[in-house]
Amino acid sequence: MAQVPLNHFRRVSTTLNSTLTQVYSAPDSTAAIMLTILAANDTANPQTITMGVSGLGGQNGNIPVRPFYNIVKNFTIAPNDVTNIIIGKIVLENYDCLYASCTSLSSVDMTLSILETLNTTSTS
- Could you tell me the CATH number of the domain that includes residue 63? 2.60.120.340
Q: Report yes or no on 30 lying in a domain.
A: yes
Per residue in 10-69, pLDDT (tens digit) is: 999 999 999 998 999 888 888 899 999 999 999 999 999 999 998 765 454 555 666 788
Number of structural domains, the chain? 1
Does residue 53 contact residue 92 with C-beta atoms inside 8 Å?
Answer: yes
Q: Report yes or no on 124 lying in a domain.
A: no
Residue 91 belongs to domain spanning: 7-117
Q: What is the pLDDT of residue 9?
A: 93
Does residue 82 contact residue 40 with C-beta atoms inside 8 Å?
Answer: yes
**DSSP character for 96?**
-
Q: Report yes or no on 84 lying in a domain.
A: yes
Asked if the model's pLDDT at residue 120 lies above 90, the reply is no
pTM of structure: 0.83
Q: Report yes or no on 123 lying in a domain.
A: no
Per residue in 87-103, pLDDT (tens digit) is: 889 999 888 899 999 99
Quote the distance between the C-alpha of residue 44 and its chain's center.
25
Q: What is the pLDDT of residue 124?
A: 40
Q: Report yes or no on 52 lying in a domain.
A: yes
**Between residues 78 and 122, the one the model is more confident about:** 78
Q: Report yes or no on 1 lying in a domain.
A: no
Asked if the model's pLDDT at residue 104 lies above 80, the reply is yes
Quote the CA–CA distance of 13 and 92 in Å, as a whole number.
17
